[in-house]
Structure 1
Amino acid sequence: MVTPQYPTALSEGSLPARSYVTNRAMTDAPVPFAPLHISTDAFPVHRRLAMWREIYGRTIAKFDIKPINDTPFRAGVTLRSLPGLGVAAGHRSDSHYRMTRELATKSTDNLIFAVVTNGVGIISQRGREATIGVGEALLMSATEPSICTLHSGGRFLTLSVPRDAISPMVVEAGSMLVRPISKHSEALRLLTSYLGIVNEADKLCDPELQRLAVTHIHDLLASALGATQDAAILVEGRGIRSARLRAIMSNIVENLGRRELSITYVALHHSVTPRYIQKLFESEGTTFTEYVLEQRLVQANRMLSDPRFSNRAISDVAFKVGFGDLSYFTRTFRRRFCMTPSDARERARRESDA
């Protein structure tokens, strides 16, 4: 469940490690935040545990791995990295991941924030032990011995962040080590939601976007751990605000087809006021209504351009994405794309036949 300080071992590493890593360019200039996938499914069956121990345990994450039972071992992880942030999401068979004192001395001075997304986790460090279930989280130190046990179909999401980036923002960060954080924590919910949205982006190539993403994640993490008074004020106006807006935008896109989609509907879902949502969109130079309309039009255009929907009536497409008035849909579509819905479908058909 530990997030590696990865990826130098692999970007500089030798075979066989590089041979079993997928979806990441093995170049001298790796793509920022591009996912790196490692899975025992790619290993010879009889060597899965041994190779996972060597490639992931020793080369990347710096811990010993011991299965709990005789069930055939399987594991997989997706890693992403930006300056000031490492993110890992994965699964593994029931097992103990032990960071010895020797291995801990080789680790970067980072704090590890671990969230259990399935199964049960048992973490020991500094003479403390905590059990966390689905949706719960805790903080660990990457430079101290620890044991992380995950069982019952364990899946995890972990963050690795520089200690000196988080400690000044948190009230007694050391006292938060191995202290469970409730799944009902709003800051934790916003953090996991924001990470989900960021992870869906194929690339974060713009340095400014990278910096903002890392800053917002640091803010949300500090809030989940217990930000200092000064940091809490800063975080509320920066990371928390941005995460709420991204979560609201994501919720809107997921519910475009609902006729009852309204600012009141969304406000109730996120336990905020309609005015608060209005202010969030105003900070982006738009409004709730404009955003919903834009997303509905974009989704409609996507469907009209998709051969799978070529037999569906244009009115069906309009109603599918939430429009209740066909003439209003046609008018706004033409204004947005400088063509009618029929023109959009015909253009897609011509391009497909070309």
Structure 2
Amino acid sequence: MKTLRVTTEAFQGADGIDAFREIFGREILGIEIDPLDGHPLDINLTLRSLPGVAMAAGTLSPMRNRHTSALLDNDDVVLVVMQNGVGEVSQYGRVATVNEGEAVLTANGAEATFIGRTATRVINLRLSRSLLSSHVAEIDDLVARPIPRDNRVLQFLAGYATMLNDQAALATPDLRNMVASHLHDMAALLLGGSGGRGAHEQGLRAVRLRAIKEHIRARIGHHDLTLANVARSQQISESYLRQLLADGGTTFTDFVLAGRLARAHRMLIDPGHADRSISAVAFEAGFGDLSYFNRTFRRRYGATPTDVRMGAPRADGE
């Protein structure tokens, strides 16, 4: 996962700020940056990139950011989540005040202005228009229209975006693709607003369940993986977590066991892990009891771990 920190800390004096505005403002962020009302320019953002998704999260001093015609280079959309402070977005002839906890959609393909009236903390999610357009009709009609802070999908989306801070959980391309897809699903749910309350609730439960399963899969080998820890990480109750998994036709114990057995099986048939003992494979897959591992593995695959390993291709081709 590509990560870049954007900060004014190393840029001092008028020449330094001008260099920052050129390099990070125009070339990287694609905006004209102007301090507001004499406030010194103070920017501290972390940029992260996933397939089809980019996120900028951090703090901004009061400023005016302009997306001018000369800087237009794509037609993606950006969801601005105002974690702290107050901002104002102007685009398509509409002006929207965005208060703390609210969000607003902007379009990269048209001129726009963002004014941070106060020091702000924001999460900006750049999303693929093409991926959203098949689920959300008339996206541009939703631009510069505030999304209230009590919107449950917005609350969940803002919390879920912090997963991008967990480099270990996103260490593989498959996980990065899943998270990027999940972010687009949540954004589509947030922006769609069709189907009535029942469909809205059903969609929210579906994206929550996907987030839970992704979280568990990313930590399947951790020996401290418990229902309580997962519920806490997802900011939901343990009973709600059990209910969501039940809706998906499984339980926490069964889902974790299946994931750990699958991980052990992959290791046993991988010549690159041939030097590991069966007990080491079991431990790395998340099992603490070797006899339990052997018993459940044989029940799942109809063979012992040793049988599976002996039947796997050898690294030397023999």
* TM-score w.r.t. length of structure 1: 0.61
Distance 2:127 2:88 in 1: 21
Q: Please state whether the residue corresponding to 1:152 is helix, strand or coil.
A: coil
Distance 1:272 1:227 in 2: 28
Instruction: State whether residues 231 and 237 of structure 2, in contact with CA within 8 Å, keep that contact through their aligned partners in structure 1.
Output: no
Match of 1:42 in 2: 10
TM-superposed CA distance for 1:96, in Å, is 0.4
Identity %: 28
| Alpha carbons of structure 1 residues 268 and 140: separation in structure 2 relative to 1, 3 Å | closer
| Alpha carbons of structure 1 residues 84 and 233: separation in structure 2 relative to 1, 3 Å | farther
- Provide runs of 4+ in structure 1 moved above 3 Å: 45-48, 227-238, 243-249, 261-275, 280-285
Question: Where in structure 2 are the equivalents of 1:250-269 lying within 5 Å?
Answer: none
| Alpha carbons of structure 1 residues 268 and 84: separation in structure 2 relative to 1, 3 Å | closer
Question: Where in structure 2 are the equivalents of 1:120-139 lying within 5 Å?
Answer: 120-139=86-105
TM-superposed CA distance for 1:206, in Å, is 2.0
| Alpha carbons of structure 1 residues 150 and 204: separation in structure 2 relative to 1, 3 Å | same
Distance 2:235 2:41 in 1: 44
Instruction: State whether residues 190 and 247 of structure 1, in contact with CA within 8 Å, keep that contact through their aligned partners in structure 2.
Output: no
Cα deviation, 1:276-332, whole Å, max 9, x if unaligned, reads: 1452786475269x89xxxxxxxxxxxxxxxxxxxxxxxxxxxxxxxxxxxxxxxxx
Paired letter, 1:153 = A
Instruction: State whether residues 205 and 244 of structure 2, in contact with CA within 8 Å, keep that contact through their aligned partners in structure 1.
Output: no
TM-superposed CA distance for 1:84, in Å, is 0.7
Paired letter, 1:221 = A
Match of 2:166 in 1: 200
Match of 1:102 in 2: 70
Paired letter, 1:90 = G
* TM-score w.r.t. length of structure 2: 0.67
Question: Where in structure 2 are the equivalents of 1:212-291 lying within 5 Å?
Answer: 212-226=178-192, 228-229=194-195, 235-236=203-204, 238-243=206-211, 273=240, 276-279=243-246, 283=250, 286=253
| Alpha carbons of structure 1 residues 192 and 268: separation in structure 2 relative to 1, 3 Å | closer
Instruction: State whether residues 242 and 251 of structure 2, in contact with CA within 8 Å, keep that contact through their aligned partners in structure 1.
Output: no
Q: Please state whether the residue corresponding to 2:2 is helix, strand or coil.
A: coil
Paired letter, 1:160 = R
Residue among 133, 140, 145 paired with 1:179 = 145
| Alpha carbons of structure 1 residues 94 and 232: separation in structure 2 relative to 1, 3 Å | same
Q: Which runs of 5+ in 2 are unaligned?
A: 218-223, 258-286, 291-318
Match of 2:288 in 1: 336
Match of 2:22 in 1: 54
Q: Which runs of 5+ in 1 are unaligned?
A: 1-32, 250-255, 292-334, 339-354
Cα deviation, 1:214-260, whole Å, max 9, x if unaligned, reads: 111001111111255499699557534223667999xxxxxx9xxxx
TM-superposed CA distance for 1:34, in Å, is 3.4
1:74 aligns with 2:42: yes
| Alpha carbons of structure 1 residues 161 and 273: separation in structure 2 relative to 1, 3 Å | closer
Two-structure CA RMSD over aligned residues (Å): 3.7
| Alpha carbons of structure 1 residues 285 and 83: separation in structure 2 relative to 1, 3 Å | same
Instruction: State whether residues 2 and 50 of structure 2, in contact with CA within 8 Å, keep that contact through their aligned partners in structure 1.
Output: no
Match of 1:329 in 2: none
| Alpha carbons of structure 1 residues 48 and 157: separation in structure 2 relative to 1, 3 Å | farther
1:148 aligns with 2:148: no
Distance 1:262 1:203 in 2: 15
Cα deviation, 1:95-125, whole Å, max 9, x if unaligned, reads: 1001112222xx2110111101111110000
Instruction: State whether residues 245 and 280 of structure 1, in contact with CA within 8 Å, keep that contact through their aligned partners in structure 2.
Output: no
Distance 1:264 1:143 in 2: 39
